[in-house]
Structure 1
């Protein structure tokens, strides 16, 4: 079995995420404008890991993002309710000029790339005959960490996804508020019952413990003001914005 085939994330029943295959783990912070417009992601540091490591899912670990067993102490309820149907089975399609945008609202974590400072993607699509507007829409969709939004060049066309490596990113908001675990590059994720979630180029897993769409993030971390107190840091800082 090759290294890529060994790479996977397994959700434990009422417990953490077990990560196999030495999948790179790093921190990323959202970049915003002076007007609070979401612009992109900054890679901050790579965390040291072993071949197999365990990430907190209950949100209460004292060594975040890693698990320290607190889930067992607090009786964490990690019941999973995420839809296991394929993205294309539940997507809503919105056509523009030279672009067809798809969206699954249940995957949204409210990272706000689809909103824009002046108007949301849903409104911008009406003006995509302007290539600058179309490019803006494509860029915003490409920065959506959960892949709630995706796009093709035409309805029923092949989806165009950003070229993202196999990695897990611990996301942080611009105000030091903690966010989700961003899984990229098509890493398989298995529920506690052994059933796989659809393998996608990008998806976001809950790490505050409060999502109503477990194991996926639903943006609840923003509502509860989830933060990363007692975090583990270390590794190699990175200053580039590349995935």
Structure 2
């Protein structure tokens, strides 16, 4: 086993009941900002800056710390309810499948952090239907691969393999410039996430965790950092999430 694998195996995010995320194993921590194109569609994450961290550090989960992104104990003062409500079923068992000529899309809406990367050029579903067109195919691939939450995964129908970036194990604090708010905690590169009950969530290449304390799908982000209750309800009804 190479050194990189040894280091990765020490990395973990532990969720503490009604308390912060404890990050161990020296996981690199960055800040990035969502940028938009001329049409106002989100396109990329840029301005990466590394934050100096220790081998183990705690990230705020309630959204009220005065020492963000780190926890300062405020969760105790506000009686923060961090109850985890997300399912631990594997992604592929939750995902709907959409077929195009050359691409297959798997989509698990409950993971959506509403960063809006899938809307450019008419949206990813339209693009996969046009995937015989090289430009449409490439744009669809770009949109799926940058989806921070891992809601969307695009597959090559010829090879059966997913299109995925090779991320170093790391955490990104996302800032949503367009919505003028702090976005989710983007976990990249297959870092294990341990529930407060000691079980593990499925380890994935990319997921987004809530850091505002308002998500209805904790520990995952559901866009509550900027969406209204009405907008969330509309989204959940659209995808049948209230029926679960």
1:221 match: secondary structure:
coil
1:161 aligned to which of 140, 161, 164? 164
CA separation in 1, counterparts of 2:159 and 2:75? 43
Q: Where does structure 2 lack aligned partners over 5 or more consecutive residues? A: 229-244
1:72 match: secondary structure:
helix
* Residue pair 1:95, 1:155 contacting (<8 A) in 2 also: no
Equivalent pairs counted in the alignment come to: 224
CA separation in 2, counterparts of 1:124 and 1:45? 32
User: Does residue 145 of structure 2 align to residue 142 of structure 1?
Assistant: yes
TM superposition shift of 1:156: 9.1
* Residue pair 2:141, 2:163 contacting (<8 A) in 1 also: no
In structure 1, the partner of 2:174 is 171
TM superposition shift of 1:158: 2.6
In structure 2, the partner of 1:55 is 59
CA separation in 1, counterparts of 2:34 and 2:148? 10
Judge which range, 43-52 or 193-202, deviates more. Answer: 43-52
CA separation in 2, counterparts of 1:42 and 1:124? 24
Superposed counterparts of 1:90-109, under 5 Å: 90-109=94-113
2:128 aligned to which of 112, 125, 128? 125
Higher relative helix content: 2
Judge which range, 105-114 or 42-51, deviates more. Answer: 42-51
User: Does residue 13 of structure 2 align to residue 2 of structure 1?
Assistant: no
1:3 match: secondary structure:
helix
* Residue pair 1:168, 1:184 contacting (<8 A) in 2 also: yes
Superposed counterparts of 1:4-19, under 5 Å: 4-19=8-23
Structure-1-length-normalised TM-score: 0.88
CA separation in 2, counterparts of 1:54 and 1:86? 27
Cα-Cα RMSD = 1.7
TM superposition shift of 1:207: 0.1
TM superposition shift of 1:20: 0.3
* Residue pair 2:149, 2:186 contacting (<8 A) in 1 also: yes
* Residue pair 1:31, 1:174 contacting (<8 A) in 2 also: yes
1:27 match: secondary structure:
strand
